[in-house]
Amino acid sequence: MNDPVLAGKVALVTGASRGIGAASARALAAAGAHVILVARTARDLEAVEEAIFEAGGSATIAPCDLAEPDAIGRLATAITTRWPALDLLVINAAVLPVLTPVWQIEPRDLNRGLLLNVAATQALIASFHAALRKAKAARVIGLTSSVGAGPRAYWGAYGASKAAFDNLLDTYAQEVRGISDIRVAIVDPGATRTAMRAKAFPGEDPASVKSPDVVAARIVALAAGDFVSPHRERIENIA
């Protein structure tokens, strides 16, 4: 294991079964945190958990479909019963709606994106806010996309959901400032080798973009170190 700078900390990572989520979970565990792995598929989570165990780390899987009604509330009840304080919440799970002109966006596809990328984010914050306040200098780290800040043709559905995601996290950062030690970071990692990236850019050589491990290392640094600003940080295009 690496230097356990997060020893004794409890971290929850959504979308932890693959990509940036899985890499972040492994890196956080290597830094000493006990990591709660959240995603829909138990078998995929078990593979990440096994890798963490083999590296000498500690983790617990919590299979959960964040889009299901009341699923996040049940998840929070189960977790906070065992760990009353939560040191780190990494909001990574997201869905990419079909890339299409705005006038051709299917309502069902848009609603699915807004449900997981926006509504689930608010539900996670609402459900874990009390546990975050019980921790010393808790962090909330959300993974976003450049299309949330800068519109791009054909990315309207995903971009709109990420714009709302960014707004929610920024608003939360303002609301907790002065009343808690919670710090909020919004991370736009830039081009990264993930399944979502491959879906959006099917002709791209995966080797031409960075590994999720690079992003994971930055997330560990945010979890362990001080922020430039007291309560809010935005990171873009991690190299």
Return all residues near 107 (Cβ < 8 A) that are at least 6 apart. Answer: none
Q: Distance of alpha carbon 102 from its chain centroid, rounded? A: 27
* Residue 2 covered by a domain: no
Q: Any catalytic annotation for residue 158?
A: yes
- Measured from the Cβ of residue 65, the count of other Cβ atoms closer than 10 Å reads 16
Give per-residue pLDDT as tens, 90-132.
Answer: 999 999 999 999 999 999 999 999 999 999 999 999 999 999 9
Query: Could you tell me which residue, 2 or 74, shows the higher pLDDT?
Result: 74
The model's pTM is 0.95
* Residue 5 covered by a domain: no
* Residue 224 covered by a domain: yes
* Residue ranges making up the domain that contains 83: 10-236
Indicate if the pLDDT at residue 2 is higher than 60.
Answer: no
What is the band of 238 on the pLDDT scale with cuts at 50, 70, 90? confident
Instruction: State the catalytic residue, choosing from 128, 155, 158, 172.
Output: 158
Q: How many residues in the chain?
A: 239
Total tally of structural domains belonging to the chain? 1
* Residue 200 covered by a domain: yes
The residue among 239, 15, 2, 8 whose CA lies nearest residue 141 is 15
* Residue 210 covered by a domain: yes
* Residue 1 covered by a domain: no
The per-residue b/e assignment along 219-235, b for 16 or more CB within 10 angstroms, e otherwise, is: bbebbbeeeeeebbbbb
Instruction: Give the model's pLDDT for residue 226.
Output: 80
The per-residue b/e assignment along 32-52, b for 16 or more CB within 10 angstroms, e otherwise, is: bbbbbbbbbeeebbeebbeeb
Indicate if the pLDDT at residue 8 is higher than 80.
Answer: yes
Instruction: Give the model's pLDDT for residue 234.
Output: 77
* Residue 221 covered by a domain: yes
What is the band of 184 on the pLDDT scale with cuts at 50, 70, 90? very high
Mean pLDDT of the chain: 94
What is the band of 33 on the pLDDT scale with cuts at 50, 70, 90? very high
Instruction: Give the model's pLDDT for residue 107.
Output: 97
- Contact call for residues 92 and 13 (beta carbons, < 8 A): yes
* Residue 229 covered by a domain: yes
- Contact call for residues 132 and 182 (beta carbons, < 8 A): yes
Q: What CATH number is attached to the domain comprising 138?
A: 3.40.50.720
Q: Distance of alpha carbon 9 from its chain centroid, rounded? A: 17
Q: Where on the phi/psi map is residue 32: left (φ > 0), alpha (ψ -120 to 50), or beta?
A: left
